[in-house]
Amino acid sequence: MTSPAPAPDAEALIADLRTLVECESPSSDPDALARSADLVARLGTERLGVEPERLGIHLRWRLGGPTRVLVLAHHDTVWPIGTLLTHPFGISDGVLRGPGSFDMKTGLAMALHVLGSLDDRTGVTLLVTGDEEIGSPSSRTLIQDEARGADAALVLEASADGGALKLERKGTSIYRVLVKGRAAHAGLEPEKGVNASVELAHQVLAVAALGDPALGTTVTPTVAASGTTGNTVPAEASFAVDVRARTVAEQERVDSAMRALMPVLPDAALEIEGGINRPPLEGALSAALFARASRVAAEAGLPPLTGVAVGGASDGNFTAGVGTPTLDGLGAVGGGAHADDEHVLTDRIPDRTALLRALLLDLLPPGDR
């Protein structure tokens, strides 16, 4: 039976959280990410008593023995440098605000404090990455390699509404469709051109039709660009495509369809860039861990747990993709991820840290180490 040991000190955790939030760390700014990685390394060394391995903008603490439990967090955010001027860190009426506070610097602070409070962390690896918000291009292999063979992956991403854990996540695919046409003067001889904007319109409609609402598959054309001047038949155009799917089979269906796209206009040409980015986190890989966490929460006198399926992806998709049981959304309770109203409910920080601590103790019983 799990011991309902006290959670780490909430005031100290919030103090570290403020330090993290006030070190702005947009994914697209290498200098900012380096500063943030330095800060996370310092705070982690203070809380855990051991320095991390520095892997560029990523940090790894292997806390003894082969990895049985992988704890995942990230320190990058979607917010550009200067956001603190308009969205400063603050707490009012139990609501904490600041860029990246919900997604996911509270979860990162929780991980550092919970792991620092354990007497024996043998078998735990904490991996803190710096490129999650842009699809984890440089950390994907690192995450997958670290997860292989682990008994569990615990992802400190923010919770869903009301504190619900994220039991399913759609997989993501990212594409860019490049359209090649031929320029001509739009007034003198437009018939000599091949209009990339018109071809783009055909392809946008074809791509949008690939979704399957009944299966939860969304295929969404997003950013588009075309042409150079207002009196020239566009020679080139492009648009981005965001795909979300609940199953690998659906991801593969859409991928095949994207690569089979054919131009409609004579002499137009297409190039398809990108592909499947993150596999889905399917419910089968979270069910047993969720049942375990629910039992642990009940034994520790913590709020009952709920779970939901969500459309957004996280690094938990990668751990599930290699077959590791994964539980996501263990971090902050609040809302407004990527939005102006991003916030964390401070009165939920103690029970979330207590849940994480109790779950780790249950996953790492002394007799099995």
How far is Cα 127 from Cα 172, in angstroms, rounded to an integer? 22
pLDDT at residue 3 in the model: 44
CA neighbor of 35 nearest in space, from 130, 123, 175, 100: 130
Strands 326-327 and 69-74: unpaired
The residue type found at 266 is P
Q: What pLDDT score was predicted for residue 18?
A: 98
pTM of the model: 0.87
d(C-alpha 91, C-alpha 98), whole Å: 9
Residue for token digits 């913590």? 302
The pLDDT value recorded for residue 8 is 83
Interatomic CA distance for residues 76 and 297, integer angstroms: 30
* pLDDT score recorded for residue 167: 97
Rounded to the nearest angstrom, the gap between the alpha carbon of residue 319 and the centroid of all alpha carbons in its chain is 12
| Cα separation values, 184 from 3, 179, 258, Å | 75, 16, 29
Q: Residue 369: what pLDDT?
A: 44
Please give the Cα distance from 65 to 148 (Å, whole number): 15
Give the position of tokens 């990162």: 108
Three-state DSSP at 70 gives: strand
- For 152, other C-beta atoms within 10 Å of its C-beta total 23
Residue at 351: amino acid letter: D
Cα 172 to chain centroid distance, Å, stands at 11
Distance in angstroms (rounded) separating the CA atoms of residues 246 and 141? 22
Give the model's pLDDT for residue 7: 55
Our CA dihedral for 355, 356, 357, 362, rounded to 10 degrees, sits at 90
What is the rounded CA–CA span in Å between residue 240 and residue 308? 28
179: enclosing H helix or E strand: strand 171-180
If we measure between CA atoms, which residue out of 129, 145, 13 comes closest to residue 66? Answer: 145
Distance CA 125, CA 65 (A): 9
Question: Which strands, in side-by-side order, build the sheet including 334-335?
Answer: 90-92, 95-97, 343-345, 334-335
| b/e per residue 251-290 (b: at least 16 CB within 10 A) | bebbbeebeebebeeeebebebebebbbbbbbeebbeebb
The closest of 202, 272, 188 to 232, measured between CA atoms, is: 188
Task: Give the span between the Cα atoms of 185 and 130, in whole angstroms.
Answer: 47
pLDDT confidence of residue 2:
43
- How far, in Å, CA of 52 to CA of 261, rounded? 46
How far is it, in rounded angstroms, from Cα 317 to Cα 319?
A: 6
Q: Which residues of the chain have pLDDT under 50?
A: 1-6, 368-369
Domains of the chain: residue spans and CATH: 10-169+280-368 (3.40.630.10), 171-278 (3.30.70.360)
Can you tell me whether residue 28 is helix, strand or coil? coil
What b/e readout covers 202-219, taking b as 16+ CB neighbours within 10 angstroms? Answer: bbbebbeebbeeeebbbb
Strand-pair partners of 281: 169
